[in-house]
């Protein structure tokens, strides 16, 4: 899967794509770590304790390559939010 904006692009892993798609389906909504884990990992599988943090870091890096890392916001104590209306 490829992330593209303008003439910039970057490859996404399957999990990174799933995460970004999940955020896009809930724009400007703060999603907790638990919500993200439940949406992206199968029932009965237990992700590593830092799985969401690592995933957010990787997706931010991918977004940075196309110039929109600031779209992925961390809402302290609550979770994460994709806000494409934010300007750098």
Q: Is residue 26 part of a domain?
A: yes
**Residue given tokens 């999990």 in the structure block:** 15
Nearest Cα residue to 74 out of 40, 30, 39, 19: 30
In this prediction, residue 41 carries a pLDDT of: 84
What is the domain extent for residue 39? 2-82
Give the CA dihedral 39, 44, 45, 49, nearest 10 degrees. Answer: 80
* Placement of tokens 């970057």 in the chain: 10
pLDDT per residue rounded down to tens, the chain (88 residues): 888 888 888 899 999 999 999 999 998 999 999 899 889 987 666 667 788 999 999 999 999 998 888 899 999 999 999 987 766 5
Q: Per the structure, how many domains does the chain have?
A: 1
In a domain, 68, yes or no: yes
Q: CATH number, domain at 45?
A: 1.10.10.10
Predicted TM-score of the model (pTM): 0.84
């Amino acid at each position: 899967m490829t992330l593209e904006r303008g003439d910039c692009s970057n490859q996404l892993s399957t999990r990174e794509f799933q995460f970004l798609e999940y955020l896009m389906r809930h724009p400007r909504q703060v999603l907790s770590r638990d919500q993200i884990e439940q949406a992206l990992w199968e029932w009965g599988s237990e992700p590593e304790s830092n799985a969401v943090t690592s995933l957010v870091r990787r997706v931010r890096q991918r977004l940075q390559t196309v110039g929109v890392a600031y779209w992925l916001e961390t809402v302290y104590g609550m979770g994460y939010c994709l806000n494409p209306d934010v300007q750098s």
